[in-house]
Chains A and B, each alone.
Chain A
């Protein structure tokens, strides 16, 4: 059996892709990944409150949380992995494991449903994981200026907001490059106004048709 005789193992760099359900996370990962996105699952077991089985043991319910990820091999020594965060908010506890040791994150935004990003923004700010926002331009959606999106998401001026076509390899790659440039530009400086550790998403106002983006 062939073995890896070298002592060198590649370094795996983890980037996160977040955004509301249906915003295009898997599309984005597919566009930039060298492999078809893989799906990994975690089985979560939770005791069902107040439900006992016949033998008195607390009944348990299991749920499976799946997440997609892609890979980009940059060299024999460096491999990027892009993890799509589960969109449904009931899987928040998975986010901690997925985000541990992450280099940075991309939050994909659907300008028709910007409020779907709020939770991701809050989470990454609370975990001090730096991110950029990329508005996925769906055909026919009104194109908002980055500053309008930044205002609607209440992001500081230091957080880059860009646009992309999640289906396009070059566009998705451009978003990753923008993210790494942002990390280099903010290297060594703490973002102002980052909340204390301990995750509890602060309430953000819902966008309404009469809200910031109308």
Chain B
């Protein structure tokens, strides 16, 4: 299974032409709160008009659900910058975000059993 990088969308060796924080015009506070492990996916809806290239690229990476951390890695942006882009997209309805597991949810027995079963079947 490969992600967008594996599909040849991004050249892993290409240098980024634009400084990461220029992408988001110096904003560092995302409006929708996102965590490294928030799961994001494109809704297929949204403004329908012109999207800035970086927002377009970020949205393109979310056709299948992915974590904020993955999107940041694929975009080769610092996490904070990726969060701003994704938060913008969530605000305009182009992206849906699900929060990560809380510390309590992360260790619940039914989940652990599913994880164990999944690992044993690998």
The interface of chain A, by Cβ under 8 A from chain B, is 1-5, 9-14, 34-35, 38-43, 64, 69, 71-75, 78, 80-81, 97-98, 100-104, 130, 173, 176-177, 180-181, 183-184, 187
New contact pairs (9) apart from A38-B69, A101-B101, CB-CB < 8 Å: A1-B63, A9-B39, A35-B3, A40-B72, A41-B72, A103-B111, A176-B119, A180-B115, A184-B116
Q: Measured between alpha carbons, how far is A13 from B107 in the docked complex, in Å?
A: 10
**How many A-B contacts at CB < 8 Å in the complex?**
130
- State A177–B43 Cα separation when bound (angstroms): 35
Q: Verify B116–A177 contact, CB threshold 8 A.
A: yes
B65 contacts A by Cβ under 8 Å: yes
A125 to chain B, nearest CB (A): 15
Which residue of A has the minimal Cβ distance to B121? A74
Is A101's CB under 8 angstroms from B106's CB? yes
Residue pair B78, A42 in contact (C-beta under 8 Å):
yes
Determine the distance from Cα of A12 to Cα of B78 in the docked complex, in whole angstroms: 21
Q: B101, A41: Cβ atoms under 8 Å?
A: no
Least distance between A176 CB and chain B CB atoms (Å)? 6
A97→B73 CA distance, assembly (Å): 17
Are A187 and B100 also in contact (CB < 8 A) when A3-B42, A35-B3, A38-B73 are? no
Which 4 A-B pairs have CB atoms at the shortest separation, nearest pair first?
A: A3-B44, A74-B118, A38-B73, A103-B106
Beta-carbon contact of A35 and B42 below 8 Å: no
User: Closest residue to A99 on the B side, CB-wise?
Assistant: B103
**Cβ of A21 to closest chain B Cβ, rounded Å:** 21
Q: Complex: how many Å from CA A34 to CA B44? A: 27
Interface residues of B in 67-122 (CB under 8 A from A): 67, 69-70, 72-74, 78-80, 96, 98, 100-103, 105-107, 109, 111-116, 118-122
Which B residues are CB-close (under 8 A) to A73? Answer: 1
For A40, the chain B residues whose CB sits under 8 A away are 36, 69, 72-73, 79
Pairs A–B under 8 Å by Cβ, sample size 14: A3-B45, A10-B39, A12-B67, A13-B106, A14-B37, A14-B100, A35-B2, A35-B3, A74-B118, A80-B115, A101-B102, A103-B115, A184-B112, A187-B112
